[in-house]
Structures are given as structure tokens and as C-alpha cells.
Amino acid sequence: MGAIDENKLNVFIQQAIGDLAAGFGGVMVSLGHKCGLYKGMHDAGPITAGQLAERAGCAERYVREWLNSQAAGGYVEYDAAKDTYELTPEQAMVLADEDSPVFIPHAWEVPASIWFDEDKLLRAFRTGEGVAWGEHHHRLFCGNAAFFKAPYQANLVSNWLPALGGVVEKLSAGARVADVGCGHGHSTIIMAEAFPNSRFVGFDAHADSVTAARDNAGKAGVEDRVHYEISSAKTFPGKDYDLVCFFDCLHDMGDPVGGARHAAETLAEDGTVMLVEPFANDRLEDNLNTIGRLFYSGSTTICCPHSLSEEVGMALGNQAGETRLARIFEEAGFNSFRRVAENPFNLVFEVKL
Ligand SMILES: C[S@@+](CC[C@H](N)C(=O)[O-])C[C@H]1O[C@@H](n2cnc3c(N)ncnc32)[C@H](O)[C@@H]1O
């Protein structure tokens, strides 16, 4: 072993302890969300532990200890002179307001589910076998759906669809849309609410997700123009779609080229594929940051294992980047691949024959 640099060791220990605290922090966020503690603090101004406990209907001793953990983590402000706690408007956007595009508590369901699945992943690491989407703990499905719903709500209708040539005009007049790998269907429902003249069908290979998507469409009151079917990306039915969408799912597929080829076969003349993928640069060294850490971890535990569970098993990974994604559509027979939008979490492409 080489000589230990004390400074580097101390810096790295700080980082690792910070990460351990953040791991506990996830449990604290989940408890705070589910007990209604953040919501109880939203717009309440400075509040004591006793007052918050009463508002949320929880035991004061637990609430005080939880508040102290939140104050230590910078998730609430603490006034020592008055012994009160306060959620700032910025903290409320992230922790209390479910309609905010940066609401985070649901996202903690995803790593929570992965802890349950650790034995399956240990086996997969040792054998190289896959773990299918549906084999994961159920906390993954709602957590994933809720995590992606917020950026879709913030961007899909206002930014992404208008960035695709001529698509909004077709949707307004009445278009046929396929949402492949639709999960719980939030993307389909958001589009259907904005474009009542169009008809939408969501396809997903995971039966429980299709059931959840149907429930969500019912609750949103868009069943007249949206329906969902259990189907794989390589075999979904229908023809002459004006728009075929892949929201954060192409990289999960065992055979993304096969999925893209099938999309080509089902498109109407002058139809468009909209591809939404997690943000990534082409080169690993350009993804070595917090978002890269988050996404590579999800890719290791969710995306690659699912892809390896399907035929071909390409295991593209969720950090494929534009060049590799373009190559997939080129192999599938498409001629045009254009980046039309991006934000720190998403890349959006228009793909045409
Ligand atoms: C990360 S989730 C994304 C779900 C949804 N599009 C969203 O953005 O919330 C990936 C989805 O792709 C689906 N999926 C994976 N492979 C598939 C395939 N070969 N055919 C159809 N769906 C597939 C999974 O069942 C899962 O619902």
C-alpha cells in the first residue's frame, strides 16, 4: 500500500461520512413527507416542535428529534433563541409542494426499493444474469413514475413538443400517438390533457404498470382518448402513428435497435419519433459529476439489469449519450436524428425516417 496522505484521507472521510448522513437523510425525507411534517411547516413561519407535532398529528418527541436532524442537514432553519424551526420558501419547493417541478421526496422511493433488491443484484453481479423491471420491489414503480412526472409536467407541453417540427399542429388537429414503455402513463396523460383532439395509446411490457396507468387515466378523466396495453416495444400493435414516444425507456430495453425498427414500421408518412433519455455526455470523463453519479447508480441497479433480462441484452446503460443513441436509430433505418431540447436531467431528440 502507498503512503497515506493525511489531508486526502480526511477530505475523503468527510465525503464518505457526508454520504452516510445523506443515506439516513433519505429516510428522514421519506418520514417527513409521509407524516405530513414538511407540509405542516409550509407557510407556517417559525414553529416549535410541539406546534408541528400537533399540526401533523404526530408524537412530539419524535418530531423534535426529526426536526433536529433536518436542521443539522440544512433542510430546515433553526432559531436557537426562540427554539423554533422554519421551512424557507426554497426548501418548501423541494420538500413540501407536490406540484413543484423540483419536489424530491418521491425520488427516495427508488434507492429505498434497491435496498430490498440487493440479494437479486448480488446474484446478478456474480452470474451476469438480468433482473427484470417487474422483479423489483414495488416502491420502484411509483417512485420512478413520480420522479419523472414533474419534469414532464414542467417541459413536455411547453418546451419539448413545440421543439419537434410540425408536431404540435398535428396534435392540435388530431393525431395518433404511441407512448412506448409508458410506465404509469403520466407522459401520455399530460399530452392527452393538452391535446383533446388526438388519440393516445400507451404500451408497456410490465402488467402492473399498465394497470396503474389505466387507473391514472381514469382519475385524470382522459379515458375517452387514452388507452393502455401490455405490449413489448418490438411488437406493439397499430399503424400510421404521427408520433411515437420513448420516455426514459429506450436504454432499458434489451434490444433498443429492434424497438426503434418497430417504431419505424409503425410510423405514418412524415411521422416523428420523440426520444427522451436521461442527460449524459458521450464520454465517461464528462459525466463524472453528481448527476452522473445518480444516473450511473440507477443504471447499474435498474437499467442494465432489466436490459440483460430481455432478448439481445444490449445493456446500453442510461448514460449512453447522443452519439450512441443516434447510432441505434441509424441502424434501425432512420435518416435524421436531432437534439431539440435538454436540461440537467433530460436529453430530447427528434428522430425521422
Ligand atoms: C424507467 S421506466 C420509464 C417509464 C415511463 N416511460 C416514465 O417515463 O415514467 C422504463 C419502462 O420501460 C418499460 N420497458 C422496459 N423494456 C421494455 C420493452 N422491451 N418493451 C416495453 N416496455 C419496456 C418498463 O416496464 C418500464 O415501465
pLDDT of 191 higher than 80: yes
Spacing, Cα 183 to ligand 1 middle (Å): 5
At residue 286 the predicted structure's pLDDT band, cuts being 50, 70 and 90, is very high
Cβ atoms within 10 Å, residue 98: 12
CA proximity to 55, closest of 43, 71, 70: 43
Q: Provide the pLDDT for residue 67.
A: 98
Q: Please compute, for residue 79, the number of CA atoms within 13 A of its CA located in the half-sphere on the CB side.
A: 12
Q: Provide the pLDDT for residue 135.
A: 97
CA dist., res. 158 & res. 274, Å (int): 15
- Read off the CATH number of the domain in which 285 is found: 3.40.50.150
Do 338 and 202 share a domain, yes or no? Answer: yes
Name every residue whose Cβ is closer than 8 Å to that of residue 68 and which is 6 or more positions away in sequence: 78
Q: What does the pLDDT average to over 156-170? A: 98
Residue the block writes with cell 410541539: 50
Answer for the pair 268, 240: CB distance below 8 angstroms, yes or no: yes
Q: What does the pLDDT average to over 215-235? A: 98
Residue 67: domain span? 6-97
Do 70 and 218 share a domain, yes or no? Answer: no
- Read off the CATH number of the domain in which 26 is found: 1.10.10.10
Q: Provide the pLDDT for residue 91.
A: 98
Answer for the pair 178, 204: CB distance below 8 angstroms, yes or no: no
Q: What does the pLDDT average to over 172-180? A: 98
Q: Provide the pLDDT for residue 147.
A: 87
Name every residue whose Cβ is closer than 8 Å to that of residue 208 and which is 6 or more positions away in sequence: 134, 138, 141
Spacing, Cα 170 to ligand 1 middle (Å): 26
Q: Is residue 102 part of a domain?
A: no
- Closest atom of ligand 1 to 149 CA is 9
Q: How far is CA 3 from CA 6, 7, 9, 171, 220, in A?
A: 9, 12, 11, 64, 62
Ligand 1 touching residue 248 (CB < 6 A): yes
pLDDT digit string, tens, across residues 40-67:
999 999 999 999 999 999 999 999 999 9
Spacing, Cα 36 to ligand 1 middle (Å): 31
Q: What does the pLDDT average to over 246-257? A: 98
Name every residue whose Cβ is closer than 8 Å to that of residue 131 and which is 6 or more positions away in sequence: 117, 120, 121, 124, 305, 306, 308, 309
At residue 153 the predicted structure's pLDDT band, cuts being 50, 70 and 90, is very high
Q: Is residue 13 part of a domain?
A: yes
Do 168 and 42 share a domain, yes or no? Answer: no
pLDDT digit string, tens, across residues 22-33:
999 999 999 999
Domain boundary among 97, 127, 160: 97
Q: Provide the pLDDT for residue 170.
A: 98
Spacing, Cα 248 to ligand 1 middle (Å): 7
The secondary element (H helix, E strand) that includes residue 269 is: strand 267-278
Q: In the predicted model, what is the mean pLDDT of the chain?
A: 97
Q: What does the pLDDT average to over 90-114? A: 95
Share of the chain above pLDDT 70, in %: 100
Q: Whose CA is nearest to atom 14 of ligand 1?
A: 181
Q: Provide the pLDDT for residue 206.
A: 98
Do 131 and 90 share a domain, yes or no? Answer: no
Do 76 and 137 share a domain, yes or no? Answer: no
- Closest atom of ligand 1 to 310 CA is 19
Q: Provide the pLDDT for residue 346.
A: 95
CA dist., res. 71 & res. 77, Å (int): 6
Residue the block writes with cell 425525507: 29
pLDDT of 290 higher than 90: yes
CA dist., res. 17 & res. 23, Å (int): 10
- Left (φ > 0), alpha (ψ -120 to 50) or beta: where does 225 sit? alpha
pLDDT of 239 higher than 80: yes
pLDDT of 1 higher than 90: no
- Residue 321 has φ and ψ, to the nearest 5°, of 85, 165
